[in-house]
Amino acid sequence: MAEDSPKLIIISGPTCSGKSVLAVELALTLGGEIINADSMQVYRGMDIGTAKLPSSERKGIAHHLIDIVNPDQEFNAALFLVHAIPIIKDLHSKKIPIIVVGGTGLYVRTLVGGLFNCPPSDLELRQNLWEECEKKGPSFLYQKLSRLDRKAADSIHPMDKIRIIRALEVIHLTGYQFSELTRKHSFSDRKFFALNLCLNVDRQVLYNRINRRTISMIDSGLINEVEVLLQMGYNSINKSMQAIGYRHIIGYLKGRWDLDEATRLIQRDTRRYAKRQLTWFRADPDIIWMNPDSKPDIINKVMTFMTTET
């Protein structure tokens, strides 16, 4: 890594931990700009359910990689790098501090340590897995993955069909466990200096916030947001519409459950997602855990990082 490599201030943490607001405060303090590293906030028209910070709360700070693709377009860690790296280079050339914020651990890890070099997709194998999923359900494939690679299964939601199928595909094509390939890669292809601060919120406090935010999303128009997306032609086939909140409201609109049950399911699945996020972040030895209420300590860490010669 060259001495003049860009410095990245990374604010990560579980959903509802206060990352976005803190990132804006840091950007105001430093005169910096923000790069989004949340896999859902890249989608246009999906605002309430992805907890995008309203424009009025961004306080004039430039936010990159928000609203850049439509809900039916593919987006992944590789595409995230394609979009993020030119922005980082441009901001670095202008000496503008760079703040990366988001809870998608894989995006952050690949940005800092390089992309995991998986084999390319096998279209025939993938089609067979999708057909099996449609016939027998995602739980069948999830159980298969659990038998082949328990660690990988533990890091994937049982209903995340796309990631389950990709893990099974990699196992079949390489003969190795997906989790083992990830471990061997170690994400050590570093091109940037990074300070990775992860917000550590008491578990019960976090869960209470999640429960309250879910109700706020419903009150703020999440149902209407989903209805508009459906009217535009997007549906549960799209990866984005399978996300927490969106799939639950689709279920409500189709009469699978009432609104109280949809709310309960969103709260439950968001809490489970936060738990998986924490598991991911705790496995990263480079992360520095910070109390989000200790703003002076956070600012001190950031200022020391920015002023220390590399």
DSSP 232-269: TT--TTSGGGGSTTHHHHHHHHTTSS-HHHHHHHHHHH
The answer to whether position 13 is within a domain reads: yes
| Contact indicator for 164, 138 with CB cutoff of 8 Å | yes
- Select from 166, 185, 204 the last residue of a domain: 185
Q: Domain check: are 213 and 173 in the same one?
A: no
Q: How many domains does the chain have?
A: 2
Tokens standing for residue 209: 């916030």
CATH number for the domain spanning 262: value is: 3.40.50.300
- The pLDDT tens digits of the residues spanning 69-106 come to 999 998 888 899 999 999 999 999 999 999 999 989 88
**Among the three residues 185, 200, 233, which one is the final residue of a domain in this structure?**
185
Mean pLDDT of the chain: 91
Degrees, nearest 5: CA angle 169-175-176: 90
Question: Rounded CA gap, 213 and 267, in Å?
Answer: 9
Q: What whole-number distance in Å separates Cα of residue 217 and Cα of residue 219?
A: 5
Same domain, 210 and 290: yes
The answer to whether residue 1 scores a pLDDT higher than 80 is no
Task: Mark out the alpha helices in the chain (DSSP H runs).
Answer: 19-30, 77-93, 105-113, 123-136, 138-148, 150-154, 161-174, 178-185, 203-220, 222-231, 246-253, 259-282, 295-307
pLDDT value for 279:
86
Residues 75 and 181 in one domain: no
Nearest to 181 by CA among 169, 196, 194, 191: 169
- Of 185, 206, 226, the domain-final residue: 185
Phi, psi of 259 (to 5 degrees): -65, -35
CATH number of the domain to which 140 belongs: 1.10.20.140
Query: Domain span at residue 179?
Result: 123-185
Is residue 283 located within the same domain as residue 301? yes
Do residues 244 and 279 both lie within one domain? yes
Is 1 inside a domain boundary? no
Ranking 49-53, 140-144, 257-261, 277-281 by mean pLDDT, the lowest is 277-281
Domain annotation covers residue 2: no
In a domain, 253, yes or no: yes
Separation of CA 306 from chain center = 25
Share of the chain above pLDDT 70, in %: 94
pLDDT in tens, 18-57: 999 999 999 999 999 999 999 999 999 999 999 999 999 9
Q: What is the DSSP letter of 64?
A: E
* Same domain? 219 vs 92: yes
Nearest one of 212, 125, 218 to 172, comparing CA atoms: 125
- Asked if residue 223 belongs to a domain, the reply is yes
> 154-187 burial, b if ≥16 CB within 10 A, otherwise e?
ebbbeebbebbbbbbbbbeeeeebbbebbeebeb
